[in-house]
Structure 1
Amino acid sequence: MINDRVKEAIKSYSDELTEIRRILHSEPELSWEEFKTTDFVCSYLDKLGISYRRTEPTGVIAEIMGGKPGKTVALRGDMDALSVEELNKELTYASKEDGKMHACGHDAHTAMLMIAAKALNEIKEDLPGNVRLLFQPAEEVAQGARALVEQGAMEGVDNVFGIHIWSQMPTHKVSCTPGPSFASADLFKVTFKGKGGHGAMPQACIDAAVVASSFVMNVQSVVSRTIDPQQGAVLTVGKMVVGTRFNVIAENAVIEGTVRCFDPAVRDHIETQLTHYAENVAAVYGATAKVEYTRGTQAVINDEESALLVQRVAAEAFGEDVIYHEKPTMGGEDFSFYLDEAPGSFALVGSGNPEKDSEWAHHHGKFNIDEDALTTGAELYAQFAWAYLNRS
């Protein structure tokens, strides 16, 4: 199941892999702005002689054509950074862009996929099938995967595999459990309209601040009292804008938040209940409510056969003790859109090491990875593709 040439190649490219990751880390680009990153990937693929096409406005779809007939497996690595200020100023490869940072590990994903492509390209004559490489933009805004699918990324693909570096797991550990991995991630916005007026004359007004506050305090019972406790769900109000002045009763209030869960029926229920609660709370006070519910990413549900293959590949490549069973996270991932098109799985590769201060949460300004995890991720990409095509 494991290709020794791939293992040796990636081991020999360890320094190059680290260098690529550091270049990408120092030059972060936000979602839909990954123009330099796209150019960087394309230049690298040109040197390897791997065919590709650019996607619009950013991103790359490449293809390694195997020397033997077979199926097609897709490997995905995302490329975009976040609007986060880098706090690791002491690093020689710290972000050069104020207010922009690879605070989620996408620089590592891109670098790992590039080196995996290099190793797989060297054995392409032995590949019984093709490997599609998806260098994806705009994961952080949950739009890039859908855009690549619309531009043909999954046409003819039989299985898709992705990796996320994970600071909450020890370095080198690999988790890929069948079933739920990442939650669906939706956005909601509730606008309440009351009747403004003088702060000294509340009897003549309908206070939108009171309406909004009542909604925030009561809407949590949607999760705590209307959903089976064994079903995971989160409803978070993250933003509330109300009022204009200390002595003016607010006429308008706007609330924004997110909903996370794994079950489509629970998702539908929460959307319905949000509207129900907003309208009825507003009615109690004589106000009105408008609810906007936007569905973002879907839940990432790992295909059992694919996930178990990842586990077997990881165990054979790195040893049985590398297998880790991370609990499903309420974080969102637009990898879910690829799984609408073909079975597949999404693995976590640990990069947390207290000795290297790499256990900071994703999206934090101090986030960094233990670069020893890079070769684990790169080899897992390549070995999974090899194992899937040969197994197929």
Structure 2
Amino acid sequence: MMISAKIKELIQQYSNELIELRRKLHSEPELSWEEVKTTAFICDYLEQLGIPYRKTEPTGVIAEIKGGKPGKTVALRGDMDALSVEELNKDLPYTSKEEGKMHACGHDAHTAMLLIATKALNEIKDELTGNVRLLFQPAEEVAQGAKEMVKQGAMQGVDNVFGMHIWSQMPTNKIACQSGPSFAAADLFKVTFKGRGGHGAMPHDCIDAAIVASSFVMNVQTIVSRTVDTQSPAVVTVGKMDVGTRFNVIAENAVIEGTVRCFYPETRDYIEKQLQHYAESVANIYGATAIVEYTRGTQAVINEKVSAKLVQQVAIAAFGEDALYAEKPTMGGEDFSFFLEEAPGCFALVGSGNPEKDTEWAHHHGKFNIDEDALVTGAELYAQYAWAYLKTI
């Protein structure tokens, strides 16, 4: 069977607990690498279920359900960190208790859904042909948690890995998982220009770093618009510019920070080189100097074809043909990519946008919230994917 009727029954049975778990986690957000209470809560929950686990350092949990029959190992990942965002949903009974911290991206839902999926899978473990590895991951928002969990053995012996993200831009309960690019590689760059400062009334004696930096910002967009292959999507965004010290002083220094997003390695390499070239060329025009620091963040999330097809089949079997949704790839970043470097797998999106419940706000916004009807869908998708993979692959 593609799906388990028992899993569906159990997830429905635990639906109220699922909502309670999510609300508890939402009200107690913890930032990346600070998920101490969340880690302890997950460990306590696993202990009650009798599931062996180990903590990763400094936060995070790896657990495993051993099936009654030998087989492969499939990993399910749920991230759990919050953001430095002030919650604007002050009227919610489960609003954040931590000032300036909020689950503004849905990681509270991911953790709750994976816990309930774990509970359901544990109840039918004797029927499982293989094992289910459970990855409760910290620090996704700073693109470090997955890589660190891999270093600490999270993917050893894993044959396939599956993750998902609640998605406010899709209607509630719709599921998207196409093969190929899903999330973009997300890099950071910092350019430091040095000119020669002086009096604002005597620009002829100076090299104005503000002019140099402004010229760079205006010209750097042509890397994408005029030099990158139009069939290779890419984004270069300058998000921060720190120039000068005083209104009547010519700026000696300027620091620019931004991000690069793309899907293909050759595009990534090319843009990195072009940023260096543009910065040095602009600096040379004005007699300034430029130092470029380029930091590679997440890799692109590329869904493996067989795994993505399995998600689609599971979704249809569990929720019907209408559940599938054709969502376009996003330029957002996801460090799930580091798990995919270790084993084939895929990453799905589960819709939670509902205008009647005011849950269509963008991720990372202070009014972000989810339609809790999507929780059952996500929890079941986790569990049914693991069941199907172990039964059919």
- TM-score, with structure 1 as normaliser: 1.00
Deviations 1:314-351 (A, max 9, x none): 00000000000100000000000000000000000000
**Amino acid of the structure 1 residue aligned with 2:6:** R
Deviations 1:20-54 (A, max 9, x none): 00000000000000000000000000000000000
Aligned equivalents of 2:198 and 2:32: distance in 1? 42
**Amino acid of the structure 1 residue aligned with 2:209:** A
**Amino acid of the structure 1 residue aligned with 2:368:** F
Aligned equivalents of 2:164 and 2:294: distance in 1? 29
1:357 match: 358
Residues 1:229 and 2:224 aligned together = no
Structure 1 residues 1-392: aligned runs within 5 Å: 1-392=2-393
Aligned equivalents of 2:216 and 2:88: distance in 1? 37
Deviations 1:44-67 (A, max 9, x none): 000000000000000000000001
What's the secondary structure of 1:379's corresponding residue? Answer: helix
**Amino acid of the structure 2 residue aligned with 1:301:** I
Aligned equivalents of 2:23 and 2:204: distance in 1? 62
Aligned equivalents of 1:228 and 1:345: distance in 2? 26
Deviations 1:341-375 (A, max 9, x none): 00000000000000000000000000000000000
Aligned equivalents of 2:312 and 2:321: distance in 1? 9
Deviations 1:264-298 (A, max 9, x none): 00000000000000001000000000000000000
What's the secondary structure of 1:115's corresponding residue? Answer: helix
**CA-CA distance at 1:72 after TM superposition:** 0.1
What's the secondary structure of 1:11's corresponding residue? Answer: helix
Aligned equivalents of 1:241 and 1:251: distance in 2? 11
Q: CA RMSD in A?
A: 0.3
What's the secondary structure of 1:164's corresponding residue? Answer: strand
Give identity over the alignment, percent: 79
What's the secondary structure of 1:328's corresponding residue? Answer: coil
What's the secondary structure of 1:180's corresponding residue? Answer: strand
**CA-CA distance at 1:104 after TM superposition:** 0.0
**Amino acid of the structure 2 residue aligned with 1:364:** H
What's the secondary structure of 1:289's corresponding residue? Answer: strand
**Amino acid of the structure 2 residue aligned with 1:175:** A
Aligned equivalents of 1:110 and 1:337: distance in 2? 19
Give ranges in structure 1 of 5+ residues lacking alignment.
none
Aligned equivalents of 1:242 and 1:126: distance in 2? 63
**Amino acid of the structure 1 residue aligned with 2:327:** E
What's the secondary structure of 2:186's corresponding residue? Answer: strand
**Amino acid of the structure 2 residue aligned with 1:291:** V
**CA-CA distance at 1:228 after TM superposition:** 1.2
Aligned equivalents of 1:230 and 1:66: distance in 2? 45
Aligned equivalents of 1:350 and 1:147: distance in 2? 29
**Amino acid of the structure 2 residue aligned with 1:90:** D
Deviations 1:1-24 (A, max 9, x none): 110110000000000000000000
What's the secondary structure of 1:25's corresponding residue? Answer: helix
Deviations 1:165-211 (A, max 9, x none): 00000000000000000000000000000000000111100000000
Deviations 1:113-157 (A, max 9, x none): 000000000000010000000000000000000000000000000
Aligned equivalents of 2:326 and 2:359: distance in 1? 20
**Amino acid of the structure 2 residue aligned with 1:26:** S
What's the secondary structure of 1:282's corresponding residue? Answer: helix
What's the secondary structure of 2:156's corresponding residue? Answer: coil
Aligned equivalents of 2:164 and 2:280: distance in 1? 42
Aligned equivalents of 2:326 and 2:334: distance in 1? 18
Q: Runs in 1 of length 4+ with deviation above 4 angstroms?
A: none
Aligned equivalents of 1:368 and 1:353: distance in 2? 10
**CA-CA distance at 1:230 after TM superposition:** 1.6
**Amino acid of the structure 1 residue aligned with 2:373:** D
**CA-CA distance at 1:381 after TM superposition:** 0.2
**Amino acid of the structure 2 residue aligned with 1:357:** D
Deviations 1:53-97 (A, max 9, x none): 000000000000001000000000000000000000000000000
**Amino acid of the structure 1 residue aligned with 2:305:** E
**CA-CA distance at 1:231 after TM superposition:** 1.1
